[in-house]
Structure 1
Amino acid sequence: YSLNNGTSNGSDSKKLRVEEAPPSRVLHIRKLPNEASETEVIALGLPFGKVTNILTLKGKNQAFLEMGTEEAAITMVNYYTTVTPHVRNVPVFIQYSTHKELKTDAGNQRTQAVLQAVSAVQSGGSPSSDVQEALAAASSPVLRIIIDNMFYPVTLDVLQQIFSKFGTVMKIITFTKNNQFQALLQFSDPVNAQQAKLALDGQNIYNSCCTLRIDFSKLVNLNVKYNNDKSRDYTRPELPAGDGQPTLDPSVAAAFSKDSNSLLGKIPGALNPLSAAAAAAAAAGRVALAGQSGSSGVLLVSNLNEEVSNLRVYGDVQRVKILYNKKDSALIQMSDANQAQLAMSHLNGQKMYGKIIRVTLSKHQTVALPRDGLDDQGLTKDFTNSPLHRFKKPGSKNFQNIFPPSATLHLSNIPQDVTEDDLRLLFSNAGGTVKAFKFFQDHKMALLQMSTVEEAIQALIDLHNYNMGGNQHLRVSFSKSTI
């Protein structure tokens, strides 16, 4: 084996600090357990794209893994910075290598066999080498999901929303077995199933409950006969509901078009099927990530030009600090890492005040408050005792109503004497056009649709907690519904 270094002088690269190595499609993996196999190292990269080469340094417990593209390597590194990778239950470390490619001795037949087997799995074939068993799971597009600690009902729609972040969900069947709620879920591609399992196994759907236990099913194709609240085939909207089952809402059925990718397109901020960087935010709609060790509850938000504390729609904001030397950036401390991940997954890349905002996890664990009298510009605010915290209570119903930014807003706590015209006027004045409005039966809640997602974000920032008189404050959140 030899390494083809991308720099003209090998000694120069040694001066490069480990974390400063520029992106490369070759990744350096350290602290591998002694017994780690090439197959297990390759499996780390499998969900993110094609693996084209591997070099293991057995004596040093290290390996180099070459991905097919630099983009796949970047996605992999971004993901594993928030979710610690493990081989045989041992945490390992992954970083960019200073090498731009690996040159492999073609005589090493075993390595070539392993790579060919991976290739066969990725292209839908079936390997016949000794790595078949280790890679067999990756060739099944069907996951078996068990929900533990199910304190709240988990619907088929919740599962679809969570798992569709990782690829196109084709079919879901839910059932109860051994007094446990279970589901079989089929992706369009085995790689997406592998990625979803990697990101979601062991995570909680709602805070501290509804834990996902995920395995690969031996089935490779599901047979769905009915579209109802127990089973669904997203590729066949015409299926009947079955005896005594509620039929699908026509607008929902219309969304299940033959082009099943179009459903993903209807979810603002939906992830590219292989965008595993955001799989870190496995929130994927509503998942509250179990706090990863070392993960931060502090977000760095950049490209702003207005106040940002309405991140509270995705959790309880504790503190906000606008950076002194960079006024378009702020540190935002959420109450825990779960909420930070959730906010990041939904808000990164959204348009706010005409700018695309960027949301990343900060290296800071907390936002420090200034000493008395030292913050004369008022750049730091403490919201710890704010009455607006929606998520203080563990298992609060509010956790079930967290959705990506959308043009439709859900309004609640509306006084009885407030009319549709009043609310239309209020939201028009926030800057934008109200396209549709619909009161719920009791008139305490309503759906209001703005003409764009950006207008809805602006309206939520301006009008959540708006005083409607008589000390009644309007509650505004994003809705998954359309009018």
Structure 2
Amino acid sequence: MAEPSKVIHIRNVGHEITEADLLQLLQPFGSVSKLVMLRGKNQALLQMQDIHSSVSALQYYSAVQPSVRGRHVYMQFSSHQELTTDQSSHSRNSDQESEPNRILLATVHHVLYPITVEILHQVFKAYGYVEKIVKFQKSAGFQALIQYQSRHEAVEALAALHTGRAATIAAAFGGTLPPGVTGTNERCTLIVSNLNTDKTNEDKLFNLFSLYGNIVRIKVLHNKPDLALVEMADGLQAELAVNYLKMIHVSALAQDVSEEALLAHLSEHGSIVGTKLFEVNGKRQALVLFESEEEATEALVSKHATPLEGSTIRISFSQMQSL
């Protein structure tokens, strides 16, 4: 990985994405002093005012998938510390701007269930002959390298999977969509009602719904503060969110965490009727069943990404309804 730099390299910048769109992504973290669009390679280089701003931006987007006009974009530090005005110099740099090859890097944020090599093969084999799969865990989330027999197959897979259609989700679940999910919903906006205004805000709603996709915007209605609108990037993500508000799944636990410590951390949000601690691929995880969905939701939005015995825990809703 490149050393921290004021310059951020952005990939998968489609022709529909404008300079203003990219500025909107990064200006919340600081001033952008220079921007170079590399249209021929679907890439861009942006120079922040200082390294602190660029580090803050990449730390945020390592946990939240940035999306512009419905397209995922990918960020990393550039190998350049400064940008010049000569665009031709950037087209020869080493920021992975070479021609496509036959190896894809797949990143999965907010993993709900263990992802095996078999599941990955099921997803990617539809686009060509998969020679090799290597999976690993990074700070950005679960990642895997998928090697195809030819560059053409890799390019086809990349183009198809970037659309995020229901067939891809179905493949990840073993060939069928999860119960209750049709994959045909086109409505992207969810109405969230009966909010506890003392305990819920836009940040906590983001914690809740970002588990199921990219959030375009969240609006709490001023005249009815117990009501909010949450717009997801597409209808499938909205449908997944609606169908998974059940028992919570806690991951990224410390290996020696006790059931008592976990209960103490979560029980302030409601009555817990059952817990189950287990390991998947050497990672400590837990299922926690609350008495009501309201209590489980409050626990998720309040305790997702909070520290517990030296680890920052991650919480999502489980597909299971009983232990």
Q: Which interval holds the TM-score relative to the shorter structure?
A: 0.3 to 0.5
Task: Output the TM-score relative to the length of structure 2.
Answer: 0.40
TM-score by length of 1: 0.28
Greater RCO structure (CA 8 Å; 6+ sep)? 2
> For the pair shown, which has the larger CA radius of gyration, 1 or 2?
1
